Structure 1
Amino acid sequence: MSDPALTTVRDLVEHQARTRPHAVFALATETGQTLHFGELAHSCRHVTALLKAHGAQLGDTVSLVMPNGLQTIQLLLGAMHGGFTVNPVNLLSQPEQMRYVLTHSDCSVVCVAPEWEQRVRNLLTTIERPVTVMVCDPNTRTPSDIAELDAGGAPPAPDTVALLMYTSGTTGVPKGVMLTQANLAANAQAIGAEHALTHDDRVLAVLPLYHINAFAVTMLAPLATGGSLAVPPKFSAARFWAQASATRCTWINVVPTMISYLLEGETPVRAQTALIRFCRSASAALAPEHHRAFEDKFGIGIIETMGLTETAAPSFSNPLDSSRRKLGSVGRASGCEAGVVDANLTPVPIGATGELVIRGPNVMRGYYKNIEATRASFTPDGWLRTGDLGHVDADGFFFVTGRIKELIIKGGENIAPREIDEALLAHPAVLEAAAVGIPDKHYGQEIMVCVVLREGAVCSEDQLRDFCALHLGRFKTPKVLRFVGKLPRGPSGKVQRLKLLELPG
């Protein structure tokens, strides 16, 4: 349950600073440097003063081109605390995409890590408005030489836009999702309640903060619950368990790609995982085979969840109680309401496939400077259309089978790409697989699958095709099988299926 008195990021920061000022909020895994809640509140005021000193006005957008680090966290929280809108920029963006985001966001200040300074300055030469560049080391503390500056200003209102995060869609230009202070505060508290997080919990924060999963789940949820996060520079499968153990983490938050890499690595000694209560998986569908393999190998239960940038991360979650989870399900609605509708936006019966829709305090205000896309994303009665296909069972658990735009329609039959993926992942030689529809003059569409083999594995197209015929039937057996070194993914680890069509033949 959300505390009705805590409706902004500033409220969350100040509440912890009052009640637990000397408790650790963030810990750098490489240096051991810590940031306490009292220090965080002080640094938030420093950041506000610093941004004002560089010409930013309250309500302005502040972009960040920075990897994870203690100062990155302080800049993000400090700007929101002071009433600015933060825009974390995806570091995996191509230059043209990054230029578009910096232009479209209307940022007045951009904070950049030293290694990004020249590239960002080059991009800014094509932008007509003035943009101030602040060079900030992500791994140092916020400067203390601005204490005499006046942070000033009234607290931001709950309906103030706090986060402008651009989606990494598979086609077209990115859309800027506007999330308010209230959106973020509500879902941070909902995540904490869903996973029963307390001030004793610590998460290993390996996901990049420019993605909504890390932003809301590994940064804001500990802030809301008085917990903490251990911050490595980046994800390392080889160092993952040692980092979690050394920093005494009690839960981990990963994406399916990371699970796949961890499964390929060594099994840690039990002492390294003894404190970990659960593993949370999100941002993309987790294959049941990988789900079971992870739990068997590491002895840690996985809570599969699902959310969108448009819902401030999770909107579905499996229960904390492992006996009530359902394999293959993204769980029940969490912190919001959810339903399933047909093409006419009419609710469908239990078990019937349709589009998932969401309504609640975590749902975005809309897309920045894109009224048409905002209007198209909501039903007339205010439900957010997710674009995800799936169904709900009698127990209220939702199952996602694919994206509407990625659905394969072969000879009039709807085929969920995930069904093809999961069949191939059951083959011992296959590490990753992703299906996509390709044009076919007879069926309208046929099935193509890109496959990544396990290291050292040998397998032919014919062998995989025979395997598919056995497990899927002839009709759903892929017409085209291609072996690739890796699958194209967005920053969250989600496979960008439509980009499979662009891979060289």
Structure 2
Amino acid sequence: MARGATDVPLIELTIGACFDAVVKRQPDHEALVSVHQGQRLTYSALQTEARRLASALLGLGLVPGDRVAIWSHNNTEWVLMQLATAEVGLVLVNINPAYRTSEVEYALNKVGCKLLVTMPRFKTSDYLGMLRELAPEWGHGEPGQLESQQLPNLHTVVWIDVAGQGADEPGLMRFSSLIGRGDASDPRVAEAAAQLKPSDPINIQFTSGTTGFPKGATLTHRNILNNGFFNGECMKLTPADRLCIPVPLYHCFGMVLGNLACLTHGATIVYPNDAFDPLTVLQAVQDEKCTGLHGVPTMFIAELDHPRFKEFDLSTLRTGIMAGSPCPTAVMQRVVDDMHLSQITIAYGMTETSPVSCQSSTDTPLDKRVATVGQVQPHLEVKIIDAGTGDVVAPGVSGELCTRGYSVMHGYWDDPAKTAEAIDAEGWMHTGDLATMDAEGYVNIVGRIKDMVIRGGENIYPREIEEFLYRHPAVQDVQVVGVPDTRYGEELCAWVVVKPGQTLSDEVLREFCKGKIAHYKIPRYIRFVADFPMTVTGKIQKFMIRDAMKEQLGLTEDRTA
């Protein structure tokens, strides 16, 4: 067991109050650069726009505790929603832009969202089209008065526009029109803020469950504000730092380890693009003289291997966070040597713990940064237990990693039974991850108790994919596992038993998935089999499926980190 330092106290403020204090110290310091939008905002300007938006949201009749969702890639509007909702106690619900109709319908209804802010379209994704598919009756009412049988709680949809451009969307509201209704000096904003407590829920993020659809991990001001602060402390952020954030804001990685780490330290947020593109990351780091860079290992690999990599001056870089999946030693060495990230840190956690429980620091030896996920964060405890007995294991012995402290979520939204399964009576969050801890407190993740697959930083639970594939009329049975992949860490593989008298091809099954589940959840490998390997008691042996696929594909797992 290990306990984090307590010499630096926890921040016992709401996100809004903490942000206001930073603005007061440095109103004219640059807070945000959204490169792809051509926008720059000082701390004072960001505060003004966030208060205008908060005023506009209250003007729609929303009250503290109401859930409002955002379905978008990275942009200024996203961080404005993050700040505005926190300012007046609205619970921001993060919707993954890869979600499709069934997933967004479930998410919006599960937590009862009253308002949704969305990108209209992105590449091949037509977000407004998907919404109209769910609610074809929209388009006849006034914005703010939508009615739908399939989305009964949702009364307002706001689409992110470029002010003055593009045709109107019948029944829906422009973001520029919404924020234009607000007043930064609206007394209702301060009145709502004064009623809030750090322990109030302020954010819901969906995490894939072991059965059925995702669960809504509910996080408080205290959870995510402090986690962002202490992650910034690990990176030794100051107002002089400029952090390039290519990771998505709908994950804790972007909104907590990115936005809140910067905003609690007075640093500058830099969004290189709306979605990840290695060339724009390199360009933004050079042009904006970024000192920090976040990413999952696949992002760093894409940047390092870009044919134009050597054209860019990255000498201003020093720190950042790599997380999401294990990083091979050779890649970490290239990141340090070729990208000048001598003080890059490694972080480990899960959405339910806001997210980081363990992290290396800027002065952690490189071998420890590669081979471990660092040590326990301040004001937290971690222990490694025998999953059978619950006893703490000896140093170096594998067991389940558990976390306790301020970062543990408020609970799963409207699901006390699942919350009780995850958090025990003593407040320990059971992660389901297998880990070891050495005598110095360095933690190494060695596997997963559950069957979670991590593909390019996305956490995927096979059961969710299996339940979806069962919907195909020709599928009798299906089992989904993860197999090693050099690019994404893992890829999904589905073994399918077809109903007697039916025929099915992998192309047909993938087409069945498109537009209904997120692209990263569609199995790359599909095999049609007569049955599955089982124990004598009838339990399916997924490890044998994985082993068979690794042999078929000639794959080996890299467990260097």
Relative to the length of structure 2, the TM-score reads: 0.72
Selected match of 1:321 from 354, 360, 363: 363
1:158 aligns with 2:198: yes
CA distance in 1, matches of 2:8, 2:43: 20
CA distance in 2, matches of 1:184, 1:402: 26
SS at match of 2:383: strand
CA distance in 2, matches of 1:170, 1:282: 22
CA distance in 1, matches of 2:367, 2:347: 11
Which position in structure 1 is the counterpart of 2:533?
440
Selected match of 1:402 from 428, 436, 447: 447
**Alpha-carbon shift at residue 393 of structure 1 (Å):** 0.6
CA distance in 1, matches of 2:341, 2:535: 47
Amino acid at match of 2:208: S
**Alpha-carbon shift at residue 402 of structure 1 (Å):** 1.5
Selected match of 1:119 from 113, 127, 130: 130
CA distance in 2, matches of 1:436, 1:368: 28
1:9 aligns with 2:15: yes
Relative to structure 1, the CA distance from residue 85 to residue 118 in structure 2 (aligned partners, 3 Å threshold; closer, same or farther) is: same
Which position in structure 1 is the counterpart of 2:397?
352
Residues 20-48 of structure 1: CA deviation (Å, up to 9, x unaligned):
11111110113442111112222222122
Which position in structure 2 is the counterpart of 1:54?
60
CA distance in 1, matches of 2:409, 2:551: 39
- Return the structure number with greater relative CO, CA threshold 8 A, min gap 6: 2
Which position in structure 1 is the counterpart of 2:424?
379
Matches within 5 A, 1:4-403: 6-115=12-121, 116-124=127-135, 125=148, 126-137=150-161, 143-147=179-183, 149-152=186-189, 153-155=191-193, 156-169=196-209, 171-231=211-271, 232-266=273-307, 268-269=309-310, 272-301=313-342, 302-323=344-365, 326=368, 327-335=370-378, 336-343=380-387, 344-403=389-448
Amino acid at match of 2:358: F
Give yes or no for contact 2:116–2:154 (8 Å, CA) kept in 1.
no
Selected match of 2:553 from 482, 485, 493: 482
Amino acid at match of 1:391: T
SS at match of 1:395: coil
Which position in structure 1 is the counterpart of 2:463?
none
**Alpha-carbon shift at residue 391 of structure 1 (Å):** 0.6
Amino acid at match of 1:342: D
CA distance in 1, matches of 2:301, 2:209: 23
Give yes or no for contact 1:436–1:448 (8 Å, CA) kept in 2.
no
**Alpha-carbon shift at residue 185 of structure 1 (Å):** 1.7
Residues 368-404 of structure 1: CA deviation (Å, up to 9, x unaligned):
0111110011223111101111110111000001210
Residues 256-289 of structure 1: CA deviation (Å, up to 9, x unaligned):
2212322332363486211100242112222334
Give yes or no for contact 1:354–1:390 (8 Å, CA) kept in 2.
yes
CA distance in 2, matches of 1:205, 1:357: 29
Amino acid at match of 2:19: V
Residues 411-466 of structure 1: CA deviation (Å, up to 9, x unaligned):
xxxxxxxxxxxx988xxxx55553899853589555556xxxxxxxxxxxxxxxxx
Which position in structure 2 is the counterpart of 1:454?
none
SS at match of 2:179: coil
CA distance in 1, matches of 2:447, 2:235: 26
Give yes or no for contact 1:24–1:34 (8 Å, CA) kept in 2.
yes
User: Runs of 5+ in structure 2 lacking a partner?
Assistant: 1-6, 122-126, 136-147, 164-174, 454-482, 496-531, 556-561
Amino acid at match of 2:443: F
Give yes or no for contact 1:286–1:304 (8 Å, CA) kept in 2.
no
Residues 462-496 of structure 1: CA deviation (Å, up to 9, x unaligned):
xxxxxxxxxxxxxx897633389xxxxxxxxxxxx
Relative to structure 1, the CA distance from residue 368 to residue 123 in structure 2 (aligned partners, 3 Å threshold; closer, same or farther) is: same
Give yes or no for contact 1:183–1:364 (8 Å, CA) kept in 2.
yes
SS at match of 1:339: strand
Stretch moving more, 98-107 or 141-150: 141-150
SS at match of 1:225: coil
Give yes or no for contact 2:278–2:306 (8 Å, CA) kept in 1.
yes
Give yes or no for contact 1:178–1:366 (8 Å, CA) kept in 2.
yes
CA distance in 1, matches of 2:230, 2:9: 10
RMSD of the alignment, in Å? 3.0
**Alpha-carbon shift at residue 338 of structure 1 (Å):** 0.8
Give yes or no for contact 1:446–1:478 (8 Å, CA) kept in 2.
no
Relative to structure 1, the CA distance from residue 432 to residue 235 in structure 2 (aligned partners, 3 Å threshold; closer, same or farther) is: closer
Give yes or no for contact 2:225–2:256 (8 Å, CA) kept in 1.
no
**Alpha-carbon shift at residue 308 of structure 1 (Å):** 0.9
CA distance in 2, matches of 1:75, 1:435: 33
User: Runs of 5+ in structure 1 lacking a partner?
Assistant: 409-422, 450-475, 485-505
Residues 98-118 of structure 1: CA deviation (Å, up to 9, x unaligned):
110000111111112233334
SS at match of 1:184: helix
Residues 324-379 of structure 1: CA deviation (Å, up to 9, x unaligned):
65122111111321110112221111111100000111111110011111001122
CA distance in 1, matches of 2:85, 2:313: 36
SS at match of 1:17: helix
Relative to the length of structure 1, the TM-score reads: 0.80
Amino acid at match of 1:180: T
* Count of residue correspondences: 441
Give yes or no for contact 1:318–1:325 (8 Å, CA) kept in 2.
no
SS at match of 2:212: coil
Relative to structure 1, the CA distance from residue 230 to residue 445 in structure 2 (aligned partners, 3 Å threshold; closer, same or farther) is: closer
Relative to structure 1, the CA distance from residue 483 to residue 154 in structure 2 (aligned partners, 3 Å threshold; closer, same or farther) is: same
Stretch moving more, 134-143 or 318-327: 134-143
**Alpha-carbon shift at residue 235 of structure 1 (Å):** 1.3
